[in-house]
Amino acid sequence: MKGVIFDLDGVLCSTDEYHYRAWKALADSLGIPFDRTINSRLRGVSREESLEIILERAGRHYSAEEKREMFREKNELYRTFLSALSVEDLAPGAAKMLHELRRAGKKLAVGSSSRNAQFILEKLGIAGLFDAVADGNRIRRSKPDPEVFLLAAQLLHLKPEQCIVVEDAYSGIAAAKAGGFYAAAIGDAVTCPPADRRLERLDELVGLLC
């Protein structure tokens, strides 16, 4: 394996709470019921799908223009909440693991559907450790489609079979396997049957790859 492609949220850090607060604030402003149970359905899906799930309880139809405004408002709220993000929010052992993989000559990339991936990496202080970032600004299809991982591999100038994808969501593991990648599951995805490897901690990657 010459390259490692990381999902961002849930793997290198967790911004789930910030997403929840932003969607909750938007739903409240629209008078739409929204709680953590509904929020759990948003994991691993695109922002478009997330909004449709929220609007199921709206009781009315919204135009494409109104939805675009909702996306804008939600993203502004989310970025406001993200302003509190810092190095302290990195997953345990993440920084050390990334440095060790780089010293071992591995190419590193992020493959995330988030449109704020670069901003988050900068807030976490690890933006300079990655050779490439494939994010929601550069893809048309969300996981379980493999597009984001295929783009990351392309940016690393590697073939899928030369890369390991690290994911915490079932849809991410499915995307990795669909793209021909070796899939390492962590967090919520450890029970995902198609995963090639199950990790309890990120630093296990060092022993696996170095």
- When pLDDT is cut at 50, 70 and 90, the band that residue 16 belongs to is confident
pLDDT digits (tens, 9 = 90+) for 48-60: 899 999 999 998 9
Q: Which of 129, 176, 126, 122 is nearest to 153 (CA)?
A: 176
Confidence of residue 115 (pLDDT cuts 50, 70, 90): confident
Q: Which of 7, 89, 135, 168 is catalytic?
A: 7
For the record, the structure tokens of 194 come out as 């198609």
The CA angle 116-122-126, to the nearest 5 degrees, is 120
Sign of CA dihedral 130, 136, 140, 144: positive
What share of the chain in percent tops pLDDT 70? 100
Neighbour-count burial of 193, counting CB atoms closer than 10 A to its CB (0-12 exposed, 13-18 middle, 19+ buried): exposed
Q: How many residues does the chain have?
A: 210
Q: What fold is seen in the domain 3-13+87-209?
A: Rossmann fold (3.40.50)
Is 9 part of the annotated catalytic residue set? yes
- Whole-angstrom distance, CA of residue 6 vs CA of residue 158: 15
Q: How far apart are CA 99 and CA 163, in angstroms?
A: 17
Break the chain into its structural domains and give their ranges: 3-13+87-209, 16-82
**Burial of 65 (C-beta count, 10 Å sphere; 0-12/13-18/19+):** exposed
DSSP state of 3: E
Tokens found for residue 81: 């909440």
**What average pLDDT is seen over the chain?**
94
Pick from 143, 173, 164, 174: nearest CA to 206: 164
The residue annotated as part of the active site, out of 9, 89, 135, 168, is 9
What's at 106, amino acid-wise? K
Averaged pLDDT, 150-163: 98
SS3 166: strand
Residue 23: CB atoms within 10 Å: 24
Which pLDDT tens digit goes with each residue over 20-65? 999 999 999 999 999 999 998 987 677 889 999 999 999 899 999 9
Domain 16-82 has CATH 1.25.40.20: no
| DSSP letter, residue 91 | P
